[in-house]
Each structure stands twice: as C-alpha cells, then as structure tokens.
Amino acid sequence: MVNQAVENCDALRPASEVMQIQRLGVMRSTSLSFLRIMFRKMMREAWKIEQTAFNLDNKGYGEALYAITTPQGHYTFIALSREISDENRSDRVISERWDVTFALCEGDISEKKLKKMRQELPKQEMGRGDVTDLVWSRANKSERVFTHVVEALSKGEQPDMEIVYDIGYLFRTTAVYGNGKFGIAPYEKVKDNHTFSGAFQAQMFAVYMLRHFSFEMVEHIARKRNPQAAILQPEVKKLLGTGNATGLGMVPYLISHPKLLHQWIWIREIALARAKQKHVTAEECKRFIKLLNRVHIFFEDAPIPNVQLFENPRDLASEIEGISRLAEELFSHALRFGQSSENTWIEFTDKVKESFTVEAQELVNSLLIELYPDVIEDLEEQTNADDGIHLIPEMSIGSLRAIITKQYKWAFQYDFNQPEARHYFWYRSVEKEEPRIGERGIDPGDDLAMPMNIAEQVQQLASELQSCQDEQSVASFLLKKPELRGIVRRIQSLDGLQYGEVQTNLTGSDLLPVYLLRCKLAIFGAERFDPKSNRWVRITLFQGASLVEEIGSPTFQDDWFYPLLPNSEEIT
C-alpha cells in the first residue's frame, strides 16, 4: 500500500474541496485513467494481436476475429457487423440493433462457440454469454465520418483531416459490459494475476480493439469498391479513436460503489500531492510549459460542444495562455534566485486556484501528474478495492456519531422541508431498462425511488440518534429503526474513506447529472466531452493512441494524449 503519511501533508486536498460536484464535473483524464494504465501495460508487455478471420462482404457485413497473446494468457476478440437502417441507429442503451456487436473472450473460439456467439451477441441485453466471455458491447457508425473515409480511400485519397479530427471516431459505443452481465465472466475471475486485473481493464482493451477493427473495415470496403484504393496512413489513424455515448446509468454506479469511488479519487489525489511536493528543475519547467502549449492548441482547435454545460474550449484555451504566463513568471523567479523548493508547485497551484476557473484548475492538476510519471508507479495497480458495505452491529452510537461529525457535515446544508430539495427522484425504468430521473408530483414512480438521497438519509439518521446514549449499540438501535440499516452500514463502511461520497444533494432541483457522467468518464480516460443535454454526453477514447502495429515499440512514449492535427507534409 501507499505510505499513508502523505495523506497528512499540506498538498493533499480535503474531500470538502475535491468531492464537490462542480469540481468532480470538470475532472480531466490523467495518466492514472484506466485506459492509460491498460495501454502502458500492453505496450510494455508487447502483446501480440493477429487477425485470424475477416469474413466481411463488399459492404462490410460479416465477422472478424483477432487472437491476442499476452504473458498471462490468450484471448480472442470477435466483431459481428450487421446491416441496419438509419432509423434503428441510436445512442440509447435500449436500442435493439447496432452496426457492430463485439466481445472479448478467453482462449480460442471453437466453431460451436462461434455459432453461439453469432446467435447471442447481436441480442446484447436479451442474449446470454458464458464465463469465458470477459466483455460484451455494441457500437454504431458515425455515418458522416465513416462514409467520408470510405469514399476518400476508394478514390485513392486520404480523408479530410479536419473532419477526422473533429469527429474523432468511426464507431461510437453505447455501453461496454463486463462483470457478470448477460452471464459473462464475473468480476472475481479477473481480480488477481490476470491480464485484465484492475478496474475496467478488459473493457478498455475491447474498446481499443474496436478501434483497430474499424480501420480494417473501412479499408476493406474501399478495396471492394476499388482494388487500388488507398490505405489509411498512420497519422490519420491516430486521429481516430472510439466514440462513446453515456447516459444516466453511470450516476447510480458511482453512488452505489462508494468504496471504489474513494479508491479512484484517492489514488489521483495521492499522485497530485506527490507531484506538488517535487522540487522544480529547469528541465521540468520547459516540459510543463510545452504541455501547456500543446493543450492550448488542442482546445483552440477543438470542436465546440452543442450544449455549453462545460466551459467553451476556446475560453479554456485562453485561460491556458494566462496560466502559461503565470508559470513562466513564477518558475523564472524561483530558479533565478535558487528558491525552488517542495512548495513551488503548491504556490503555483494556489495562484491558479485564485485566478482561474475550476475547469482550468483541474486541467493543470492533471498535467502536473502527467509531468512526473514516477508518482503513479505504485498507484496504477491499486484501482481495485473491497467494495463491500458491511454492518458493524457492535459499534457504539457514540462512534457512529463521530463518523457523521467528521465526514458528513456537508449533508446538513440542505433543508429537505423545501420542495426544491426533494425535486427529483431516481428510479429504474422497467420499460427502458435504465436509470432515470423523475420529478416529484409530476412523474409516477416516487414510491419505487432508488436510495440516492444520501444527504436526506444522513439527516434522518442523525435526528433519530439524538435520543440515543453514546454507549448504546448500533444493533439495539436498528432493532427499533430497521429502515435505517442501509445508511448506517454505509456510514460505517466509509469510516476513514473521505472521498467516498459525492458531496451534493442528488435530488435537488439544481442537480446536473452530466457532471457525474463526466467524472467517471474522465476516470476511464475520456476526452472531447460533448454534452447533448444535462443527462447524456458523447466522448472520445484513444484518440491519438499508438496503433496495433506499434505495440511493443521500444520508442513508445506515454505522451499521446491531447493529439494535435499534423501538418500536411507529415502525412506520407
């Protein structure tokens, strides 16, 4: 485990700052994001990926299989491409047809297994896999860029780089399932000494393989139209990642897995605290300014999201210019007078906090972690956590009160006698098979609400505890108040885990769920956040990442994030 002493240092931020929903909602990916962890492992271990079958017709419909060999095992990726109509192409989880369904499986796929996959995989929610399946998912084409790329290659040309860059993917997933869904492998199967041990590692790899399949698919269709068709140049491929559309389902996950949330935020905050304590050198100053210049161009060139729930990328680029000037001034002074110390980065981030938006602050924090790869070396193996929520019946009421006092002050800022504090309720739609938000007094289902009202439950518990003696046991209290068992065991289980709760009222009228969607997606490794409303968002994964043919390259550098448009002379 990480040395816990760092938790007491001045550089470690308190939960009262970090777990505010407005700050979580502007988080950015770091080198500890799940796809980055998976990618470094794949490159370091030189995984071998080979196409073993590619039975697609002239329009790209059919199936493809890839064999993956790693030091820990052998796996197969399968993609099934089917024809669907435009009206059936939807980003909704409840859609019933997709352009491509795909899976990551352990071992080789027998003919019997392949036959079953052809029947079951395209069904997704209505299908059934087995314990050798690690991931099931589905994706739809980005019709505009897919069609454009195929047409350009068919003419022997490369696609328009700006179209490729702005959209950023050929396929967009709508859900990537693992951990026992549809009867596939449970989480316990990949916990220890497995290629894909670690949070969402198999899912991230499956998404990377979809990206690779998408390249081979468009080139195949182009060749069928014209045997002299061009192939995608590496520089063009790298600007294409995999898209994703995510809705409200991610929010209940974060709330119902508070120990995992703590672990993911905690390792990020430990990495940031370590980076802040580094002595600044002239070389690190140059590299940090270079990073800032790169992300300035990235956001200056970024497409503008349709809904301005997040900061306009152009405005963020302007802030980065100001941050660069601040960095040059501060570092120049510190280095010139030999005053660089373990407080230099702390001073710098404090000044950024004073003068720039929360989104700019979190971008700086992510780049600071990026600057020091050594701060994450022991952390990238710590994305798993015991996620159990257990009751401690022998605990005293006094001890329970102490946890509430220490970790739940934030829950008492809301007045649940006011209608706006209880405006929303969360429920799982039987018809739509996904979490939804309803408005009390307007939408039916209030009586079936999910227990997302953490702050209200804490207040209810605290009120009931007022009449209890400190020496009384939790067990005796719950004999009289069994309806409070859930919140009691949650509080007990999170004792000392300060980053386990999102410090907001999840039923308040001012709630913006898209903040929590972005939080989890940033932990995954997403970029190009494009909110379509306050309840769902499109993002891009792996844009800029190395290609399958580059796996194992001794020259690999984990600096591919925030890719920039290459100059025309760089395309050969």
For residues 83 and 59, give the distance between their C-alpha atoms in angstroms, rounded to a whole number: 9
473 pLDDT tier (thresholds 50, 70, 90): very high
Largest Cα–Cα distance of the chain, in whole Å?
Answer: 83
Range 293-313 average pLDDT: 86
> How high is the pLDDT of residue 342?
67
Show the tokens assigned to 255: 């709330």
Convert the pLDDT of each residue in 188-210 to its tens digit: 888 778 999 999 999 999 999 99
pLDDT exceeds 70 at position 177: yes
Predicted local confidence at residue 179, as pLDDT: 86
pLDDT, one tens digit per residue, over 372-385 is 999 999 999 999 99
Q: Where are the beta strands (DSSP E) in 5-132?
A: 48-56, 62-70, 73-81, 100-106
**Model pTM score:** 0.94
The token pair that represents 439 in the structure block: 């408005």
pLDDT mean across residues, the chain:
92
For residue 332, CA distances in Å to 257, 286, 339, 468, 498 come to: 45, 11, 10, 60, 37
Report, as an integer, the average pLDDT of 255-273: 97
φ/ψ bin of 504: left (φ > 0), alpha (ψ from -120 to 50), beta (otherwise): beta
- pLDDT tens digits along 323-343: 999 999 888 876 675 565 668
